[in-house]
């Protein structure tokens, strides 16, 4: 039994079929070391994560090393895998995870911890590193949550702290050496410990006081008792994302991401990333342009996101953005700046952003009052915020999203009320611009104190306190034009437990998993009661982890060194109480956090490197929304066979649009807020149905050159399973009414009665069935929708169905079951292939 047999039973099969464009072919040479890179969340989250793809390409670029991907299955698929006894597998080869040398698991957030257990369990690998056999893979962790790895430390053989790009190759080479030397698991772990930034949990043993706090952490290794974070000195060495994997299934951030800078030294006192990704390391504009060029060309994405902790702080942004827009606006590629900071968004930048599509507009004041913003060192004033909002409204945005935290240190009722006042003033800034009715969405999250920050000692507010503030905001925020959204305080509570948790929590994760906890970051799956009951059953006090910590206390992450000094964090904490501002070391000189040695590690900033590029004058600039006069329509016929047929219709549309861009076939675009290619598709195929005769019509501004085989060219840039059969000029209307022939193969022979039912159906003029949609039932006569049925043998038949635009149709499998009277059985799905179609 393998995944193909359960695909018909899976809700979103596209997550599990792999075969994406730019997936690297399996190496022919026998790889010495192979990795399964695992993202412990669903495909749509994991594939949106840059880090995973960067590591995937780095490893596969190395001779003798292979890397494949795997994501956490949803609950339904987990159940099916268990029922059918199918081990969890890597997407590229379908190999079980247990057959790899190394399983690399990213730790992106605290609520993914039960997913790690799901992955290990479905792979037949024991949860605890100490229980694993010699033949089990080594399980290596890394990523954001590695800075306090303690709650999951027992599940890992080793955890890499800091930038993974250099360490991951070192790990592979070390394992290669260990294999040559025939080392056992312990020997491999000891060798891994020699790599900078490698944390071997079994080398550290925490002890606890009666109060529950850590009393000491014993070290049994041979290096230093502190694990120092790895720092990649310069992003210029990192150019591995020239050919990003293009997902077939819909994902959360479905676009080309380019990391333009790593690190942010604005110094927000609540922000862990601001400490653990220091210092700022910018790419040059030329490198970004090169990555954009190769990335868009090789992927076909229509959106490019400039990624950084604070994109607006990229020192060459005013030079970069016009350059990008001048290059891509006429190709309808929009540029998104997902993490802009108030005060860095100039009107000039906003004007550039909206040239193709107006991407979302989110501002994060974090706190409502000026006083509290000083406490957290946000460094933005109300005036900055309102000025940015007024400009955005004036430039055509009519929705601004504001993000705030509740529960910040020193917070009072007045600070909460200031959120309302600021939201109202923001909306009013729009009316000053004179541009109609504007909307403001207010998003609220509960502050979770994070390790290695100046606020790591603070208390986290309770669920009840969070609810009290949210209810106050709900009651006081005006109705019209405002919307309040909030992150579930119960999820923030659990996040807080793990963020500053210790090693004893691994027992809680196991216990909750055994009680059914899964996919805890998904609100429809999260169940706090399950965690609370498990905690009670093993005598763990969850509230203990949210308390204020004493500054002298040994914190559970004491042995993990972020390279930022403790004295600096304490000084920042003291400054927060006095409302003293700490400037950004990028602009105002080193603030002595202790990280840089100014030899290999130092801020890398390219200020003023880029000559300013202006927008082309309106007359000469290509206007993306203006349709040229001429239109040339082509019919593209193609087949889709194999696993790719498990994608949905919308997923197929996206694949075709991107392939057209990759093949450099320029279409006309629709007008409006979100321009899309002028391509018309035939009737949607049911998921799982193969086809030898799909088609779409595309409208081009100029004819295709005759000396190029366009069908081959387009086929070459499509994922495995899709083949273009022909591309030819089309001078007729879009086919509206067509007859489609399908071949159906049943899993068991047709009985005499079923054959008789087919004859009866064909002899009738009327065959009424009840169809229920959105709770409403109606009778329809399906007889005119079935032109013919021919039995080919005892299990196969060909059926011709009529499809008329705008009228109800029938799916081939539904027709089969209605005509033969055979019950629908998800376990006994028909194999359906579309053979041909003709206009009627």
Under the rule (CB under 6 A), what is the footprint of ligand SF4? 265, 278-279, 585, 590-593, 595-596, 603
Helices (H) and strands (E) in the chain, counts: 24, 29
Strand partners, 105: 38, 141
Nearer to ligand SF4, 512 or 562 (CB): 562
- Contact at 8 Å (CB) between 581 and 379? yes
* CA-closest candidate to residue 191, choices 152, 223, 232, 225: 223
- Contact at 8 Å (CB) between 469 and 416? yes
Instruction: Reduce the DSSP state of residue 804 to 3 states and report it.
Output: strand
CB of 672 to ligand SF4, least distance (A): 45
Nearer to ligand SF4, 454 or 735 (CB): 454
- Contact at 8 Å (CB) between 377 and 397? no
Nearer to ligand SF4, 9 or 590 (CB): 590
Helical residues (DSSP H) of 136-257, grouped into ranges: 164-180, 185-192
CA angle 337-244-605, nearest 5°?
45
CB of 307 to ligand SF4, least distance (A): 20
CB of 584 to ligand SF4, least distance (A): 8
- Alpha-carbon distance 451 to 817, whole Å? 59
- Alpha-carbon distance 663 to 471, whole Å? 53
What stretch of H or E contains 493?
Answer: helix 489-499
Nearer to ligand SF4, 568 or 681 (CB): 568
Rg (C-alpha) for the chain, rounded Å, is 29
* CA-closest candidate to residue 750, choices 789, 700, 779, 696: 789
Q: How many CB atoms lie within 10 A of CB 470?
A: 18
Nearer to ligand SF4, 51 or 279 (CB): 279
CB of 279 to ligand SF4, least distance (A): 4
- Alpha-carbon distance 427 to 822, whole Å? 60
CB of 585 to ligand SF4, least distance (A): 3
* CA-closest candidate to residue 423, choices 371, 479, 482, 342: 482
Nearer to ligand SF4, 240 or 573 (CB): 573
What does the block give as tokens for 542?
Answer: 């969850």
CB of 702 to ligand SF4, least distance (A): 53
Instruction: Reduce the DSSP state of residue 378 to 3 states and report it.
Output: coil
CB of 597 to ligand SF4, least distance (A): 9
CB of 703 to ligand SF4, least distance (A): 57
Q: List phi, psi (to 5°) of 605.
A: -130, 140
Q: How many CB atoms lie within 10 A of CB 436?
A: 9
CB of 626 to ligand SF4, least distance (A): 48
- Contact at 8 Å (CB) between 59 and 65? yes
Nearer to ligand SF4, 279 or 735 (CB): 279
- Alpha-carbon distance 249 to 644, whole Å? 10
CB of 235 to ligand SF4, least distance (A): 15
Nearer to ligand SF4, 233 or 642 (CB): 233
CB of 154 to ligand SF4, least distance (A): 33
Nearer to ligand SF4, 168 or 585 (CB): 585
Nearer to ligand SF4, 92 or 282 (CB): 282
Nearer to ligand SF4, 48 or 265 (CB): 265
Q: How many CA atoms lie within 13 A of 827 on its CB side?
A: 4
Nearer to ligand SF4, 279 or 379 (CB): 279
CB of 274 to ligand SF4, least distance (A): 10
458 backbone φψ class: left, alpha, beta (φ>0; ψ -120 to 50): beta
Nearer to ligand SF4, 77 or 265 (CB): 265
CB of 269 to ligand SF4, least distance (A): 14
DSSP label at 461? Answer: P
Nearer to ligand SF4, 326 or 566 (CB): 566
- Alpha-carbon distance 143 to 54, whole Å? 13
CB of 564 to ligand SF4, least distance (A): 7
- Alpha-carbon distance 293 to 667, whole Å? 19
Helical residues (DSSP H) of 71-146, grouped into ranges: 75-83, 113-122
Instruction: Reduce the DSSP state of residue 699 to 3 states and report it.
Output: strand
Chain centroid to Cα 167, Å, comes to: 23
CA angle 521-524-527, nearest 5°?
70
């Amino acid at each position: 039994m393998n995944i193909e047999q359960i695909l018909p039973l899976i809700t979103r099969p596209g997550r599990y079929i792999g075969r994406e464009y730019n997936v690297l072919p399996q190496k022919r040479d026998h790889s010495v070391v192979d990795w399964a890179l695992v993202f412990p969340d669903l495909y749509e989250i994991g594939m949106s994560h840059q880090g995973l793809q960067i590591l995937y390409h780095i490893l596969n670029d190395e001779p003798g090393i292979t890397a494949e991907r795997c994501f956490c299955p949803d609950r339904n698929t987990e159940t099916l895998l268990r029922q059918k006894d199918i081990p969890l597998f890597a997407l590229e080869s379908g190999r079980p995870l247990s057959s790899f040398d190394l399983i690399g698991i990213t730790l992106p957030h605290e609520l993914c911890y039960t997913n790690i257990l799901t992955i290990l369990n479905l792979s037949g690998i024991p949860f605890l590193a100490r229980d694993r056999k010699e033949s089990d893979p080594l399980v290596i962790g890394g990523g954001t949550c590695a800075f306090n790895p303690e709650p999951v430390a027992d599940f890992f053989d080793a955890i890499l702290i800091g930038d993974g790009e250099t360490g991951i190759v070192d790990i592979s080479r070390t394992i290669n050496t260990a294999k040559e030397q025939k080392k056992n698991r312990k020997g491999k772990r000891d060798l891994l410990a020699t790599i900078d930034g490698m944390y071997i949990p079994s080398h550290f043993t925490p002890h606890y006081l009666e109060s529950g706090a850590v009393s000491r952490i014993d070290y049994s290794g041979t290096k230093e008792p502190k694990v120092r974070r790895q720092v990649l000195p310069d992003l210029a060495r990192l150019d591995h994302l020239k050919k990003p994997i293009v997902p077939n299934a819909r994902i959360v951030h479905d676009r080309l991401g380019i990391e333009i800078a790593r690190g942010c030294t604005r110094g927000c006192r609540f922000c862990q990333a601001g400490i653990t990704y220091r210092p700022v390391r910018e790419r040059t504009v030329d490198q970004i342009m090169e990555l954009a060029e190769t990335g868009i060309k090789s992927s076909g994405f229509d959106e490019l996101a400039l990624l950084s902790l604070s994109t607006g702080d990229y020192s060459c942004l005013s030079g970069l953005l016009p350059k990008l827009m001048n290059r891509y606006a006429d190709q309808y590629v929009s540029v998104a700046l997902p993490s802009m900071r108030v005060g860095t968004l100039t009107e000039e930048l906003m004007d550039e952003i909206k040239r193709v599509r107006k991407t979302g507009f989110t501002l994060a004041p974090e706190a409502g009052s000026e006083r509290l913003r000083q406490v957290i060192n946000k460094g933005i004033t109300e005036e900055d915020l309102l000025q940015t909002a007024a400009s955005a409204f004036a430039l055509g945005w009519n929705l601004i999203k504001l993000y705030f935290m509740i529960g910040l240190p020193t917070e009072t009722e007045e600070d909460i009320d200031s959120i309302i006042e600021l939201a109202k003033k923001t909306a009013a800034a729009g009316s000053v611009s004179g541009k109609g009715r504007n909307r403001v969405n207010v998003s609220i999250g509960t502050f979770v104190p994070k390790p290695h920050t100046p606020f790591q000692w603070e208390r986290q507010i309770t669920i009840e306190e969070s609810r009290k503030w949210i209810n106050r905001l709900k009651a006081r925020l005006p109705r019209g034009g405002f919307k309040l959204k909030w992150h579930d305080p119960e999820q923030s509570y659990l996040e807080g437990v793990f963020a500053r948790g210790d090693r004893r929590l691994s027992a809680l994760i196991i216990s909750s998993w055994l009680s059914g906890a899964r996919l805890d970051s998904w609100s429809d799956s999260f169940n706090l009661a399950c965690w609370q009951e498990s905690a009670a059953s093993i005598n763990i006090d969850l509230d203990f982890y949210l308390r204020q910590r004493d500054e002298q206390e040994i914190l559970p992450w004491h042995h993990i060194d972020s390279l930022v000094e403790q004295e600096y964090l304490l000084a920042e904490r003291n400054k927060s109480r006095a409302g003293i501002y700490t400037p950004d070391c990028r602009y105002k000189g080193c603030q002595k956090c202790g990280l840089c040695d100014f030899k290999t590690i130092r801020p890398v900033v390219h200020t003023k490197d880029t000559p300013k590029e202006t927008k082309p004058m309106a007359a000469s600039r290509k206007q993306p929304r203006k349709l040229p006069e001429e239109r040339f329509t082509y019919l593209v016929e193609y087949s889709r066979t194999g696993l790719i047929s498990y994608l949905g219709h919308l997923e197929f549309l996206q694949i075709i649009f991107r392939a057209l861009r990759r093949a450099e076939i320029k279409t006309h675009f629709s007008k409006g807020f979100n321009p899309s290619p002028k391509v018309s598709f035939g009737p949607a195929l049911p998921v799982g149905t193969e086809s030898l005769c799909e088609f779409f019509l595309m409208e081009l501004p100029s004819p295709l050159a005759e000396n190029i085989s366009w069908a081959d060219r387009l086929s070459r840039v499509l994922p495995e399973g899709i083949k273009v059969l022909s591309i030819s000029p089309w001078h007729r209307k879009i086919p509206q009414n067509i007859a489609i022939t399908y071949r159906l193969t049943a899993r068991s022979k047709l009985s005499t009665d079923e054959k008789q039912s087919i004859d009866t159906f064909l002899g009738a003029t009327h065959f009424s069935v009840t169809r229920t949609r959105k709770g409403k039932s109606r009778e329809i006569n399906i007889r005119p929708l079935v032109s013919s049925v021919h039995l080919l043998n005892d299990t196969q038949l060909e059926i011709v169905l009529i499809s008329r635009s705008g009228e109800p149709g029938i799916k081939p499998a539904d027709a089969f079951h209605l005509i033969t009277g055979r019950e629908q059985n998800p376990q006994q799905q028909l194999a359906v292939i579309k053979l041909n179609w003709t206009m009627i």
